[in-house]
Amino acid sequence: MLARDAFNRFARRVPTWIVYVALALPAPWFVYLGATGGLGVEPIKALEHELGQWALWLLIAGLTITPLRRYASINVLKFRRAIGLMAFYYVTLHLLVWLVLDVQVLSQIWADIVKRPYITIGMAAFVLMLPLAATSNNWSIRKLGPRWRQLHKATYAVAILGALHFVMLAKGFLLEPLFYMAVVIVLLALRWPQRRRKTVNRERAA
Amino acid sequence: MSRRWTNDLSRADATPEHLFLNRRQLFGALGAAGLGAALPMGARAQDALEPNSFEEITSYNNYYEFGTGKTDPVKNAHTLTTDPWAITIGGLVEKPGDYSMADIVSQMDIEERVYRFRCVEAWSMVVPWNGFELADLLEMVGVKPEAKYVAFETVYRPDEMPGLRYPVLDWPYVEGLRLDEARHPLTLMATGLYGKPMPNQNGAPIRLIVPWKYGFKSIKSIDRITLTDKEPPTSWNKANPREYGFYSNVNPEVDHPRWSQATERKIGGGLFSRREPTLMFNGYDEVASLYEGMDLKANF
């Protein structure tokens, strides 16, 4: 309990710009490693994978914030926008590496998006993130009102699609992508009971 | 050993100069080791194709018995005991039995073959393998006339192969060839690369190389060879028949369902390397006659 309170006090004092900077830094570091041989003899695939992995980690981190508050009274809500926007930053870089360094051929890029389901799904997740990233500011929250909350529930779909994208690109039966999918499903499932309870309460009240 | 194979590539396929220089050093080393005798004829013809560096070839591997990451095999494969080693050869052969590595190698002509290697994942390498023609081994054991296919099995040792703990594939790994493919002079049983014994992560002590097929057909660390009259069930085909056919010939016109096979990227080009067009049969047009009259889109 004491540790939790201390943590919450500490989190209140940490400025959010530190989170932005800290989360942004791995990307240039990976590019540097890739250019200097630190990512092995096939740096393009390695870079693509690292960036995609960070995007998924941050999507998952974003989804843990509400359950942490609800079930553990740990409050890091003030960092949620930073985490979400940095997830978008990694998804964008991941997409750029795929477009520019990996596939390279424009006609093939479009063919891949249309023909290959795991790429279609990855692209869908990216497109869904665009309005979320564009409205991750105070002005949009004021302007959209309750609709802002509804809109940002699209994060749930983005996380499922992101995890599914990873599951589908695995060759053979691999545990790692299935593990991420399971974590996403658990984090989303944690949101259900309370809503049901609320509905029940409302029905009782009526 | 009648039909010897020669390379037909030109300098246009050449890669950076430091690799080229490595190659000159290699020939020096081979000569000094007394292996040079087998080289001069073939070596001159194969000079046109510049191999990847030893480090590239041995640090980027698919060998799921040691993990599914590309660098897992180099980290984990040292645990495999490769000496003593024997191959059980059976099925439709005249002289079935357990053949020790030493026994086999003493009866074979080991030579160097610089081959393109094209992975199904759309990357490629050029590797100077050392080995002997599978045809010679088949001749040694005597193939019965009813035999139509050759099946191969990778060694199955859970104690030494950490990847076997996970059901990534139906272990042990199985691959197979039609008998005419197996007897083609390009088909090599490789015992080393760059004039050195085969590194464990590359399939020590002995593996198959079928250079006109995707890399997974070239099974590693062979423990068993069986001649049969039926097409053997193969590991990747069993795991996902829609994506990995029995033939798996390199074919730029037949995409993998999840990616195009029209282009490939050669390992070692760095962050800004360009894709190159993939060649039919990986450039080994001499095998085309094996598939005359076959629909290669249906038999992919």
**Residue B89 and residue B141: Cα distance in Å, rounded?**
8
Chain B CA closest to residue A173: B168
Residue B18 has pLDDT above 80, yes or no: no
DSSP, res B207? E
d(Cα B225, Cα B212) in Å, to the nearest integer?
A: 21
Task: Please give the average per-residue pLDDT across B116-120, as a whole number.
Answer: 98
Domain count, chain A: 1
| Helix axes A154-169 and A43-72, enclosed angle (nearest 10) | 140
Rounded Cα distance between B85 and B141, Å, is 17
The two counts, helices (H) then strands (E), for chain A are 12, 0
**Token pair 């890739």 is at which residue?**
A34
Min Cα separation A27/chain B (Å): 14
Binding annotation of B = 61, 64-65, 119, 154, 202, 207, 218-220
Q: Which two tokens stand for residue A88?
A: 């978008």
Q: How confident is the model at residue B42 (pLDDT cuts 50, 70, 90)?
A: very low
Please tell me the distance from the alpha carbon of residue B258 to that of residue B247, in angstroms, as a whole number: 18
Pick the residue of A39, A171, A176 with the most B CBs within 10 A to test the interface with B by mutation.
A171
The Cα–Cα gap between B38 and B30 comes to 10
- Dihedral, CA atoms, B252, B253, B257, B263, nearest 10 degrees? 30
Output the average pLDDT for chain A. 92
ipTM: 0.85
Give CA–CA dist A95/A104, Å, rounded: 12
Tokens 């960070």, located at residue: A54
Q: What is the pLDDT of residue A204?
A: 55
- Helix boundaries (H) for chain B: 17-32, 40-46, 54-59, 72-76, 101-106, 134-141, 179-182, 235-239
Which pair of tokens denotes residue B271?
A: 């962050």
Question: Residue B208 and residue B217: Cα distance in Å, rounded?
Answer: 8
Residue B135 and residue B183 in contact, taking contact as beta carbons nearer than 8 Å: yes
Segments forming the whole domain that contains residue A188: 2-205
Token pair in block for residue B292: 């005359």
**Global pTM?**
0.85
- For the stretch A57-90, pLDDT in tens is 999 999 999 999 999 999 999 999 999 999 999 9
φ, ψ of residue A72 to 5 degrees: the values are -125, 0
Interface list for chain A against chain B, based on CB atoms closer than 8 Å: 31, 34-35, 40-45, 47, 101, 103-105, 108, 111-112, 115-116, 118, 168-169, 171-175
Query: In this structure, are residues B223 and B87 in contact, taking their beta carbons and an 8 Å threshold?
Result: yes
Residue A107 near residue A154, CB atoms below 8 Å: no
A chain contacts of residue B271, beta-carbon cutoff 8 Å: 31, 34-35, 43-44, 47, 101
CB atoms within 10 A of CB A135: 16
Q: What amino acid occupies position B228?
A: T
pLDDT (tens digit per residue) in A143-175: 999 999 999 999 999 999 999 999 999 988 899
In this structure, how many other beta carbons lie within 10 angstroms of the beta carbon of residue A20? 17
Q: Which CATH architecture has domain B11-291?
A: Alpha-Beta Complex (3.90)
